């Protein structure tokens, strides 16, 4: 027993903070064979992402893409979630930390609570709802938000009447499972931990600190996070856009950018928060979706659309009717007493300062370090940077200053969701390196009894009708529904259940399966989206194939939407159950098959990204095959000598290259060209021509890190005048201390050369920093030089903003130009010397300005590597409209491909800085480890299958399958389509295309669906069959 207890408190990795980054870190670690504790100080996991309405630039519903991960975490045998929990102390060293966890009392016993929310209904105390940014009210006891995990309420001790003065305990009385414990106390738990991942996230900037924005004083001034809630269908106004003062639809909204960011005045942050430009554009687009007539005005400084697809996203917002982007500093004027409208003063180029009235003002607030960040730093013994974010090195943004403690998410600095997710996966790679010796020791797998064979049995369906507390029971007459279900064909067991999902009651269902020898189970309850995995599991535990489980949703589809029509709802519940029972009778047991995984990885591209991934994976113990198309490792990093934050790249690169060459598990192939690639997740075979030989490599995963190139400009005299260089060429001259360059009197840099234009409609992300970096270096070498940077928007996002400010203060002149009025460049002679004359419109004076330059440097675009399309074809991966590789999901699967087993990092994905590349390389490694650390990979049983006899070899299925899962094979009856179940995703498109219904999707067969459609109409209402024999149209016989 004691031993067991010790085991219980011994874990591999503690993840602190349950936002999207902490969730991803936990999942990746747990899937790599580590036992994980995920703790969050909030009552539920989800973090800030759970408060967002949609995510840019794809406008996915934020909760819809995040909440499946909640369930994945909660169901993972190697993840324990502890909410309302903080860390008290951290002692010890890597591999053996001793951590004190402090669990705050939530006054609800988690093991007893079913999440029915009846307590909140009866609670008499209304409190501002924190989740809704205090824009609506909730109760003193409530569930944090409706999809919360755990789905367990907590009591706010500050407002609960009982906890204040003992005057109420209604919740205790109404709670049927007796889960309320008003005497719960704080609990301390000691755990032994191998490594720690810190993902505490961020706080939004509080504009109350700056009285000049009117926030907290003027009702219709809200923050952007408030506005997310206002937009959201689960928000305070149920998804209709209203303003706080009078709940009217605002017709004219202003957004003010950079609130609390890029401000060196007291109370502000000097850095750029990196996410606000894009989220504002998102909010504008969504607002216009809600109300096409709404007028939107965005007061901004630069537009920083530096991320993948952000440029197009900006254009989309900007092109909408009645949307104005105005480049101006602003001040909030006054509140109009009657209308509660708010005025904003701004400057215009033509009319001077104007004051305009708006119905509502949204402050695009920036990202701050987490609250009490000093306390956090002290507890964990880590250092912070000057902005209060976690201090990290340019060569590794995932390591904190204390070994064994890693960081992911916005605690690194202001980043958006994909980078948070990348760092989380990267933390998995680094933890795996540290703890590889104990991987798998503490983790466990679920075990199930042997499955019974029911093929010879009659159909015996069990129907369980769940009351879901009062959620269903109050509206639907469940006793009559259960009685009705018992009369349906094949049903041998029908019961009601107060809460089918509670651990106890799920066990009752499992017992019933055994006792009544059921071979199909229909559960009439809530939604398969959240609960199907649980009940499939219940079936497995009772020895029944999990595909014999069928869900009938009588909550979301019935009781919740028809709460005012009890009779109608009861009838509909019967209809829904009848359909499910009909389908259940046709269900077949399916095998989820296990495929062996080859624990070797192929890394394509020997640049910084590829080498970092390769070395990390080799350190963990996997075999690595590293391909490089040129004759040496290094890639683009060979041309970069220093970074803006002072990282000396070349010594790092030399060291990395030698570590890669020396590592016994890394096999480097130079001059490598891939000629063939075949196979699927876990089992790829790739043929490579390398240094005159042909190698056939078997591998379980592949990482694509093929890099990108610098665009060779055709504009601005590049190539015809040797005084015109690209940024990378300048860097080379600087490093060589080329006298001609160093002694120039006048230097002009032009930004956005070759991108942000029709044929390359994206921002190359790195060039602004690159130019400032070089300008500062030049300034250092030659304090007298005139340096000009001609730019469209300076995109020194994040903490790099400080260098932009430094450059301005060091007399580097920034002149903005418009895309429609590009600088003119001509060769000229001045005082007998050949020079470059650059003419640009000065936006302040409105006049043409001619600059005579000794040197013209072009910030040339980063363009996709020419090998991209070829590799994409070989590995069946997608590419973006701009020609870079396209990840599986821009937010949540940033280094995965839709094709399983293939991962992505570095410039091949999109232009990025060295530090970002390294993080992404660790991220790709972290994802690949997930796959390769398992002996086998499970493929779903719900895949397509071809009935060869019916196949007419038309190929319709093959042409429509974007996963390449179907191909022809030779059979004695000729060519027939055949499905590779490993590649099939079960979307069923081929079913719709097949003219002879020869291809079927298992678990969703025509028979199953037809029976359901037929049952939707009660027997006596169906038309009689006109044909003499059965026409096969489901009519009444």
Binding site for other proteins (CB under 8 A): 53-54, 58-61, 63-64, 232-233, 238-239, 561, 878, 898, 954, 956, 960-963, 985, 987-989, 992-997, 1006, 1009-1010, 1013-1014, 1016-1017, 1021-1028, 1031, 1033-1035
Label residue 529 left, alpha or beta by phi (over 0 means left) and psi (-120 to 50 means alpha): alpha
Per the CB < 8 A criterion, the answer to whether 234 and 227 are in contact is: no
Name the residue among 229, 252, 265 with its Cα closest to residue 336. 252
Q: Which residue number, 743 or 1016, has a Cβ lying nearer to other proteins? A: 1016
Report, in Å, the least distance between residue 520 CB and other proteins: 22
**Residue closer to other proteins, measured from CB, 470 or 898:** 898
Rg for the chain (alpha carbons), in Å? Answer: 31
Q: Both tokens of residue 274?
A: 């990196």
- Least distance to other proteins, CB of residue 42, Å: 21
- The nearer residue to other proteins, 58 or 371, going by C-beta atoms, is 58
Total Cβ atoms within 10 A of residue 53:
21
User: How far is residue 786's CA from residue 797's CA, in Å, rounded to a whole number?
Assistant: 25
Residue among 443, 379, 406 nearest 88 (CA): 379
Whichever of 827 and 992 has its CB closer to other proteins, that residue is: 992
| Minimum CB distance to other proteins smaller for 502 or for 1012 | 1012
Residue 556 CB, shortest distance to other proteins, in Å, is: 8
- The CA distances from residue 133 to 37, 225, 846, in Å, are 28, 8, 44
What is the C-alpha separation between 418 and 1005, in angstroms, rounded?
37
DSSP string of 504-528?
Answer: HHHHHHHHHHHHTT-SEEEEEES-H
Angle between helices 914-932 and 20-31 (to 10 degrees): 40
Question: Could you tell me the smallest distance in angstroms from the CB atom of residue 397 to other proteins?
Answer: 31
CB of residue 878 to other proteins, shortest distance in Å: 7
| Smallest gap from residue 60 Cβ to other proteins (A) | 7
Query: Toward other proteins, which CB reaches closer, 623 or 1008?
Result: 1008
- Distance CA(511)–CA(519), nearest Å, equals 13
CA distance 70 to 75: 9
Task: Single out the residue of 532, 622, 605 nearest to residue 940, CA to CA.
Answer: 532
Provide the token pair at 770.
């690159």
C-beta separation of 551 from 531 below 8 A: yes
- Which residues are bridge partners to 989 per DSSP? none
Minimum separation from the CB atom of position 956 to other proteins (A): 6
Rounded to a whole number of angstroms, the minimum distance from the CB of residue 69 to other proteins is 14
Q: Which residue's CB is nearer to other proteins, number 1003 or number 1022? A: 1022
Q: CB of residue 268 vs other proteins: minimum separation in angstroms?
A: 34
- Name the residue nearer to other proteins (CB basis): 566 or 1022: 1022
d(CA 659, CA 70): 39
Helix residue ranges per DSSP H, 166-303: 170-174, 224-231, 276-290
User: CB 62 → other proteins: shortest distance, Å?
Assistant: 8
User: Between residues 267 and 955, which has the closer beta carbon with respect to other proteins?
Assistant: 955
Residue placing its CB nearer to other proteins in the complex, 47 or 635: 47
Q: Label residues 551-566 b or e (16+ Cβ within 10 Å = b).
A: bbbbbeebbbebeeee
Q: How many CB atoms lie within 10 A of CB 980?
A: 16
Torsion sign (Cα): 331, 334, 336, 341:
positive
Between 40 and 1008, name the residue whose CB sits nearer to other proteins. 1008
Residue 1033 CB, nearest distance to other proteins (Å)? Answer: 5
CB closer to other proteins out of 234 and 685: 234
User: 54-55 and 60-61 as β-strands: parallel, antiparallel, unpaired?
Assistant: antiparallel
DSSP string, 81-95: EEESEEEEEEEEETT
DSSP one-letter string for 408-443: -GGGSSS--HHHHHHHHHHHHHHHHHHHGGGTTTS-
Residue 167 CB, nearest approach to other proteins (Å):
37
- Name the burial class of residue 120, with classes exposed (0-12), middle (13-18) and buried (19+) by CB atoms within 10 angstroms of its CB: middle
| Shortest distance in whole angstroms from residue 1010 CB to other proteins | 6
Nearer to other proteins, 339 or 997 (CB): 997
C-beta closer to other proteins: residue 790 or 890: 890
As measured in angstroms, the least distance from the Cβ of 827 to other proteins is 45
């Amino acid at each position: 027993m004691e031993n067991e207890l010790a085991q219980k408190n011994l874990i591999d990795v503690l993840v602190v903070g349950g936002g999207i980054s902490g969730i991803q870190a936990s999942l990746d670690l747990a899937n790599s064979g580590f036992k994980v504790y995920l703790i969050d100080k909030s009552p539920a996991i989800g973090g800030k992402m759970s408060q967002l309405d949609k995510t840019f630039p794809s406008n996915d519903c934020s909760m819809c893409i995040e909440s499946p991960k909640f369930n994945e975490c909660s169901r993972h045998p190697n993840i324990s979630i502890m909410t309302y929990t903080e860390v008290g102390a951290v002692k010890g060293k890597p591999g053996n930390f001793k951590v004190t966890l402090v669990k705050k009392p939530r006054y609800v016993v988690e093991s007893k609570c079913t999440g029915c929310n009846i307590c909140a209904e009866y609670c008499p105390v209304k409190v501002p709802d924190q989740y809704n940014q205090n824009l609506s009210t909730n109760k003193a006891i409530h569930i944090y938000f409706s999809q919360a995990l755990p789905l367990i309420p907590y009591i706010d001790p500050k407002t609960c009447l009982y906890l204040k003065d003992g005057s109420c305990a209604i919740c205790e009385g109404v709670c049927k499972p007796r889960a309320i414990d008003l005497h719960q106390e704080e609990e301390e738990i000691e755990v032994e931990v191998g490594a720690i991942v810190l993902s505490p996230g961020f706080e939004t900037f509080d504009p109350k600190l700056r009285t000049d924005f009117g926030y907290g004083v003027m009702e219709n001034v809200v923050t952007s996070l408030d506005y997310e809630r206002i937009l959201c269908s689960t928000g305070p106004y149920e998804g209709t856009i209203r303003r706080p003062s009078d709940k009217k639809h605002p017709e004219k909204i202003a957004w003010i950018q950079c609130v609390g960011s890029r401000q060196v005045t007291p109370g502000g942050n000097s850095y750029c928060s990196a996410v606000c430009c894009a989220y504002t554009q998102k909010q504008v687009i969504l607002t216009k979706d809600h109300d096409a007539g709404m007028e939107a005005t965005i007061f901004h400084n630069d537009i920083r659309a530096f991320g993948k697809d952000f440029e197009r996203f900006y254009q989309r917002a900007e092109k909408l009717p009645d949307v104005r982007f105005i480049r101006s500093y602003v001040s909030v004027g006054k509140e109009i007493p009657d209308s509660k409208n708010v005025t904003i003063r701004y400057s215009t180029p033509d009319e001077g300062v104007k004051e305009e009235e708006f119905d509502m003002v949204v402050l695009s607030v920036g990202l701050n370090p987490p609250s009490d960040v000093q306390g956090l730093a002290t507890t964990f013994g880590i250092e912070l940077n000057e902005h209060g974010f976690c201090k990290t090195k340019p060569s590794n943004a995932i390591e904190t200053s204390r070994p064994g403690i890693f960081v992911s998410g916005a605690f690194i600095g202001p980043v958006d969701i994909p980078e948070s997710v990348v760092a989380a996966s990267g933390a998995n790679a680094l933890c795996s390196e540290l703890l590889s010796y104990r991987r798998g020791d503490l983790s466990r797998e679920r075990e199930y009894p042997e499955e019974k064979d029911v093929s010879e049995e009659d159909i015996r369906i069990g129907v369980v009708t769940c009351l879901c507390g009062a959620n269903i029971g109050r509206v639907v007459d469940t006793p009559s529904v259960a009685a009705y279900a018992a009369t349906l064909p094949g049903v041998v067991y029908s019961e009601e259940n107060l809460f089918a999902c509670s651990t106890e009651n799920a066990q009752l269902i499992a017992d019933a399966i055994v006792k009544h020898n059921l071979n199909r189970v229909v559960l009439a309850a809530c939604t398969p989206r959240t609960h199907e995995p649980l009940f499939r599991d219940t079936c497995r535990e009772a020895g029944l194939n999990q595909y014999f489980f069928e869900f009938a949703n009588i909550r979301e589809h019935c009781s919740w939407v028809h709460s005012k029509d009890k009779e109608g709802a009861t009838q509909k519940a019967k209809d829904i159950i009848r359909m499910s029972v009909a389908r259940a009778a046709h269900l077949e047991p399916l095998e989820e098959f296990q495929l062996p995984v080859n624990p070797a990885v192929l890394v394509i591209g020997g640049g910084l990204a590829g080498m970092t991934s390769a070395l990390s994976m080799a350190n963990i113990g996997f075999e690595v095959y590293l391909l490089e198309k040129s004759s040496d490792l290094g890639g683009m990093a060979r041309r970069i000598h220093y970074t803006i934050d002072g990282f000396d790249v070349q010594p790092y690169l030399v060291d990395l290259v030698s570590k890669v060459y020396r590592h016994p598990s890394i096999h480097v192939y130079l001059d490598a060209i891939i000629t063939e690639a075949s196979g699927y997740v876990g089992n790829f075979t790739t043929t490579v021509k390398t240094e005159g030989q042909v190698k056939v490599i078997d591998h379980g995963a592949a990482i694509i890190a093929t890099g990108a190139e610098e665009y060779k400009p055709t504009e601005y005299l590049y190539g015809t005048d040797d005084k015109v260089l690209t940024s990378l060429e300048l860097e080379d001259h600087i490093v060589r201390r080329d006298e001609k360059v160093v002694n120039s009197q006048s230097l002009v840099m032009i930004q956005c050369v070759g991108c942000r234009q029709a044929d390359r409609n994206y921002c190359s992300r790195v060039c602004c920093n690159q130019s400032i970096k070089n300008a500062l270096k030049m300034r250092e070498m030659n304090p007298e030089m005139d340096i000009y940077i001609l730019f469209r928007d300076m995109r020194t996002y994040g903490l790099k903003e400080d260098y932009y400010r430094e450059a301005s203060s060091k007399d580097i002149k920034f002149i903005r130009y418009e895309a429609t009025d590009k600088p003119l460049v001509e060769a000229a002679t001045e005082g007998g010397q050949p020079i470059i004359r650059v003419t640009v419109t000065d936006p302040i004076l409105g006049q043409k300005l001619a600059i005579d330059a000794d040197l013209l440097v072009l910030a040339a675009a980063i363009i996709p590597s020419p090998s991209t399309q070829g590799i994409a074809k070989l590995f069946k991966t997608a590419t973006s409209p701009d020609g870079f590789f396209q990840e599986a999901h821009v937010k949540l699967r940033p280094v995965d491909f839709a094709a399983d087993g293939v991962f992505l990092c570095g410039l091949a994905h999109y232009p990025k800085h060295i530090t970002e590349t390294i993080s992404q390389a660790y991220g790709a490694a972290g994802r690949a480890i997930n796959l390769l650390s398992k002996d086998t990979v499970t493929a779903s049983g719900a895949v397509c299958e071809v009935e060869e006899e019916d196949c007419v070899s038309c190929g319709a299925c093959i042409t429509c399958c974007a996963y390449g899962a179907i191909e022809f094979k030779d059979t004695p009856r000729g060519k027939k389509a055949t499905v590779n179940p490993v590649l099939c995703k079960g979307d069923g498109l081929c079913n719709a295309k097949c003219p002879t219904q020869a291809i079927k999707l298992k678990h969703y067969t025509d028979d199953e669906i037809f029976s359901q459609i037929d049952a939707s109409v009660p027997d006596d209402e169906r038309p009689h069959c006109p044909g003499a024999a059965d026409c096969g149209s489901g009519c009444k016989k």
